[in-house]
Amino acid sequence: MSKKRKLLIDTSLDLFYSNSINSIGINEILKTSGVAKQTLYSHFESKESLILSALQQRHTNFIEWLKTKLDGVDSNEQLIIRLFNALESWFRNSESMLGDFHGCFFINSASEFNNKQSNISLFCKQHKHEVRETIKQYMSQENLFLLDAICIMKEGAITNAYVSGDYSSAIKCIRILKQYENNTAFTD
């Protein structure tokens, strides 16, 4: 990928995620990156196209991060512990692969582009689907009820951390899910 193109995507992602998409204009991205306007429009058709590239970049990063965090788990309980400890570490700005925590970029973006049919909303939906599939892959014993529970609690923990500032909510999830897992492991 072209150096300038990469710089534009990195800068956009950084600004969009630290602020919000609608509050960051093209001119601010150009000023921060030091790239000329014509260069941006030779690489990207429109602002939306740049937004989608930034979402793609974050998606790739996030899935890669998730896989490193879950690599080698050998039980569903360990998966839960690893996942939610990783989330807490993210909330506390200790995950360098993800940068400082400003909520979930995909939830934030879907909130800004309320129209369900927009490319941006559809991308966010797809991202959540792929995160779910990734977690599923790391389950020692497939348990779709547990997977649902994990995915619901994951979103709840992120939202509680972001909106309410409760960074400990990920750890609370471990306790709840362990309880749940113990009681359903052999009944589903």
Partner DNA sequence: TAAAGACTAGACAAGTTTGTCTATTTTGTG
Partner DNA sequence: CACAAAATAGACAAACTTGTCTAGTCTTTA
Q: Is residue 163 within 8 Å of residue 183, measured between CB atoms?
A: no
Could you tell me which stretch among 34-42, 99-107, 134-142, 167-175 binds DNA (CB under 7 A)? Answer: 34-42
CA dihedral 98, 175, 178, 169 (to 10 degrees): -30
- By the rule CB under 7 A, 81 interacts with DNA: no
CB neighbours of residue 176 within 10 Å: 14
Question: Quick one: 8 or 146, whose CB is closer to a second copy?
Answer: 146
Question: Tokens representing 29?
Answer: 């991205």
Residues lying near a second copy in the complex (CB under 8 A): 18-20, 22-23, 102-103, 106-116, 121, 124-125, 128-129, 145, 148-149, 151-160, 162-165, 169, 172-173, 175-176, 179-180, 183-184
CA–CA gap between residue 66 and residue 83 (Å, rounded): 8
- Cβ of residue 42: shortest distance to a second copy, in angstroms? 28
CA–CA gap between residue 80 and residue 147 (Å, rounded): 10
Alpha helices by DSSP H, listed for the chain, are 3-18, 26-33, 37-43, 47-70, 76-91, 105-112, 119-137, 144-164, 169-184
- By the rule CB under 7 A, 1 interacts with DNA: no
Question: Quick one: 4 or 48, whose CB is closer to a second copy?
Answer: 48
Q: Is residue 74 within 8 Å of residue 146, measured between CB atoms?
A: no
- Cβ of residue 149: shortest distance to a second copy, in angstroms? 5
- Cβ of residue 108: shortest distance to a second copy, in angstroms? 4
- Concatenated DSSP letters of 4-23: HHHHHHHHHHHHHHHS-TTT
Q: Which of the choices DNA, a second copy, none does residue 147 contact, using the CB cut-off of 5 to 8 A by kind? A: none
- Cβ of residue 79: shortest distance to DNA, in angstroms? 40
Question: Quick one: 41 or 180, whose CB is closer to a second copy?
Answer: 180
Residues that bind DNA (CB under 7 A): 2-4, 24-28, 34-39, 41-43, 46-48
